[in-house]
């Protein structure tokens, strides 16, 4: 044996063998700790998860929910255990925790895009940023955003009218219209920029959809997890290109906003001129303005990269999810005409013959529409699943979950768990009548999550949903082309239908 071979053998013995022994021992200890939890998936890779479509994967988890009635099971991707939870009682320790707030692996793959914004950050940074951003979602500010929502909803109805004029008998693929109106709203409310997404074609939405799909594909392919390797793969290069596109747009807007603010601060307008400008007209303030105002007062202000991360986060979280939620609500109403008729009766009672856009006060009177939206979010939660990586051991009932494991909390499974809800597939808005909600477990219905990491923009989302649904339903009755059983959908970070959702719009008489 020559010297080089001898050195290589020595390195193998000294470095490789101990690493293998350490890995095997770690796996043994980990599996011993998890042995009492129902197990799924093979070793070392759960191949069935890799090859399934998003819809098939969701159905597989649904089957496991029905099989493992304990509300918990483990599957393995590579040598990593992923613990799935779908029983409200098992969330009582996790969701209220201020310690176990670290997000799981999939959020790490979002960081090149969203940086360390509210969705992806953890620890002290998350607490600081949440406290900084919270005032920008005060109800008085939401009232200002409501004006933008109403204006964009009016544009939406005109776009739908133009589409119907082409062929009144043809059903409309509704989601692209709702994606565009949601993008218009979030751009103007978040960044103070009108991009006319409903009139001018934009690639922003398609870029976001492709980026989220690439992230989920990566999660189920362990060989793509190392950053250096992913960057070399075609999917990694495509993801990076899409992220660069999204970042370029955000940077340009922030730059323009800063220049405008400097110009405004340097102006010498008198107080009387300011007063005159404010008479009869509320000043429009975008989320970015509010964030920059808060940032200037803060002892530890956000850097430019951190500002971009927060804006990108709100662009992503405040656009796609809302469009999906409205689409699902219309789809369900188009399959449940008796409930739709009650919505129309309520709209006529509140608005009568008025054709002016709905005010916040009028929207607050639409209690039945409230219940419709809640039931739609139960059946089709826009964010069907979240994940946490434990930084501390947790005891859940009879189970002890060790530090370092990743939890997946399935809102979509909790919301349709027959142990939690009677006749869970039935569309029944009266589930949310006060008397029917009184004794429900607080974590039985959590479309916006719960605890300290709940969705900061949930009031914004509900106001936007209600504004757009009201604008559509005041003009039209809706009928879905397909039934609820005929449509496939999957979890690609946010809920996504696997096909176009076609709806007939019939003018109200």
Residue positions in the annotated binding site? 455
Paired sense of beta strands 406-410 and 80-85, if any: parallel
Place of tokens 């730059």: 255
The enclosing H or E element of 409 equals strand 406-410
Are 81 and 30 in contact by the 8 Å Cβ rule? The answer is yes
Residue 394, helix vs strand vs coil: strand
Considering Cα of 180, then 470, then 148, then 380, what sign does the dihedral take? negative
Helices 123-133, 287-297: axis angle to 10 degrees equals 110
Q: How many CB atoms are located within 10 Å of the residue 313 CB?
A: 25
Place of tokens 């090859």: 51
DSSP 200: S
Cα end-to-end distance, the chain, whole Å = 93
CA atoms within 13 A on the CB side of 301: 9
Are 404 and 79 in contact by the 8 Å Cβ rule? The answer is no
Q: Report residue 274 as tokens.
A: 């300011």
Are 114 and 312 in contact by the 8 Å Cβ rule? The answer is yes
CB-based burial, 96-121: b 16+ in 10 Å, e otherwise: ebeebbbbbbbbebbbbbbbbbbbbb
Question: Rounded CA gap, 240 and 500, in Å?
Answer: 27
The residues with which 409 forms a beta bridge, in sequence order, are 85, 386
Which among 347, 350, 396, 302 has a CA at the least distance from the CA of 72? 396
Q: Report residue 383 as tokens.
A: 């964010």
Residue 105, helix vs strand vs coil: helix
Are 305 and 349 in contact by the 8 Å Cβ rule? The answer is no
Residues annotated as binding site for heme? 455
Are 109 and 465 in contact by the 8 Å Cβ rule? The answer is no
């Amino acid at each position: 044996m020559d010297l080089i071979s001898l050195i290589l053998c020595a390195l193998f013995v000294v470095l490789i063998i101990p690493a293998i022994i350490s890995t095997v021992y770690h796996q043994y200890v980990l599996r011993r700790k998890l042995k009492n939890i129902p197990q799924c998936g093979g070793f070392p890779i759960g191949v069935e998860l890799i090859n399934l479509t998003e819809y098939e994967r969701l159905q597989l988890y649904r089957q496991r929910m029905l099989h493992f009635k304990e509300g918990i099971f483990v599957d393995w991707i590579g040598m990593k255990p992923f613990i799935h939870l779908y029983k409200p009682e098992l969330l009582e320790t996790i969701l209220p925790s201020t310690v176990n707030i670290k997000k799981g692996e999939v959020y790490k793959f979002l960081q090149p895009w969203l940086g360390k914004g509210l969705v992806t950050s953890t620890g002290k940074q998350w607490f600081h940023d949440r406290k900084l951003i919270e005032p920008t979602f005060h109800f008085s500010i939401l009232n200002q955003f409501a004006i933008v929502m109403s204006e964009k909803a009016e544009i939406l109805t005109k776009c739908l009218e133009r589409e119907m004029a082409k062929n009144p008998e043809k059903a409309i693929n509704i989601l692209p219209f709702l994606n565009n109106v949601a993008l218009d709203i979030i751009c103007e409310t978040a960044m103070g920029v009108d991009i006319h997404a409903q009139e001018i074609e934009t690639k922003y939405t398609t870029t976001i959809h492709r980026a989220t799909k690439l992230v989920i594909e990566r999660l189920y392919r362990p060989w793509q997890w190392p950053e250096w390797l992913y960057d070399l793969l075609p999917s990694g290069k495509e993801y990076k290109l899409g992220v660069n596109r999204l970042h370029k747009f955000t940077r340009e807007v922030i730059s323009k906003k800063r220049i405008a603010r400097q110009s405004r601060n340097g102006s010498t307008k008198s107080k009387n001129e300011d007063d005159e400008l404010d008479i009869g007209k509320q000043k429009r303030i975008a989320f970015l303005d509010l964030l920059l105002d808060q940032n200037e007062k803060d002892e530890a202000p956000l850097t430019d990269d951190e500002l971009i991360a927060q804006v990108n986060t709100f662009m992503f979280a405040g656009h796609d999810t809302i469009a999906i939620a409205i689409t699902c609500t219309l789809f369900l109403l188009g399959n449940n005409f008796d409930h739709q008729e009650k919505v129309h009766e309520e709209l006529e009672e509140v608005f009568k013959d008025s054709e002016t856009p709905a005010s916040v006060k009028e929207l607050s009177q639409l209690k039945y529409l409230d219940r419709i939206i809640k039931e739609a979010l139960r059946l089709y939660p826009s964010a069907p699943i979240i994940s946490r990586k434990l930084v501390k051991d947790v005891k859940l009932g009879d189970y002890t979950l060790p530090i370092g494991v990743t939890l997946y909390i399935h809102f979509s499974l909790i919301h349709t768990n027959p142990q939690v809800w009677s006749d869970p597939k039935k569309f029944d808005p009266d589930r949310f009548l006060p008397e029917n909600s009184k004794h429900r477990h607080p974590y039985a219905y959590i479309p916006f999550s719960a605890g300290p990491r709940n969705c900061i923009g949930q009031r914004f989302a509900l106001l936007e949903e209600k504004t757009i649904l009201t604008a559509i339903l005041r003009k039209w009755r809706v009928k879905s082309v397909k039934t609820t059983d005929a449509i496939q959908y999957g979890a690609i970070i946010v809920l996504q239908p696997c096909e176009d959702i076609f709806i007939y719009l019939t003018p109200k008489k």
